[in-house]
Amino acid sequence: MKWFEKFFTKKDNHNNNDQSFNIMEDLFVDNNPPQSEIIPQEKSISCITSFLNQDYFLMGYNDGYRNHSDEILKRTIQRIKAEFRMQIDMIIDQKRNKKLEMLNMQAETGRISDSLNQQIANICKDLDESIETLKTEKQNSVDDEGWVMKAIHKYHEGFVKGTGKYQEEKLLAISTGLFN
């Protein structure tokens, strides 16, 4: 009886005829959602998307206002491209590892199921196509083309606006004679 009392608690409401039991929720309910194997691929895609969706205009504006140096502009653009290529390399590596897993699975299953072998072949083909697209984008970033250029153009635009704002404020300060 003591084991049973661990999971059920008796409610006593001054009326012995109205007795009810509360069942511990965690005994029967699993609040953790199931995990999916698709998450790593979504993570790699969102990794590039979040990298490209940063506020490069604001970064450029702040750099242009504070530094207004052509050298800073060139170095930051090179840094953005290098970080983009590094992100691409990491995703390519993830996709290659996923393909290796698929090929190992195909080797383990052997000729058990033709449909399973076809599904694995389709996944490998899709991974190869994704890898080729990523390699192309990596090369495009070297040639000042491709996905990364939206971020580069936004940074450059912000840098020019920030530099312009700095020059405007400097000219205003000189023309009023307040800071002479």
Does some domain include residue 86?
A: yes
Distance between CA atoms of residues 167 and 68, nearest Å: 9
Domain extent, residue 105, equals 39-176
Does some domain include residue 92?
A: yes
Q: Which residue has the higher pLDDT, 24 or 48?
A: 48
Arithmetic mean of pLDDT, 15-23:
55
Q: What is the pTM of this model?
A: 0.69
Q: Which residue has the higher pLDDT, 9 or 59?
A: 59
Question: In this predicted structure, what is the pLDDT of residue 87?
Answer: 95
Q: Does the structure show a pLDDT above 50 at 40? A: no
Q: Does the structure show a pLDDT above 60 at 142? A: yes
Q: Does the structure show a pLDDT above 70 at 8? A: no
Does some domain include residue 4?
A: no
Alpha carbon distances (Å) from 97 to 37, 91, 101, 113, 159: 14, 10, 6, 23, 39
Distance between CA atoms of residues 141 and 51, nearest Å: 14
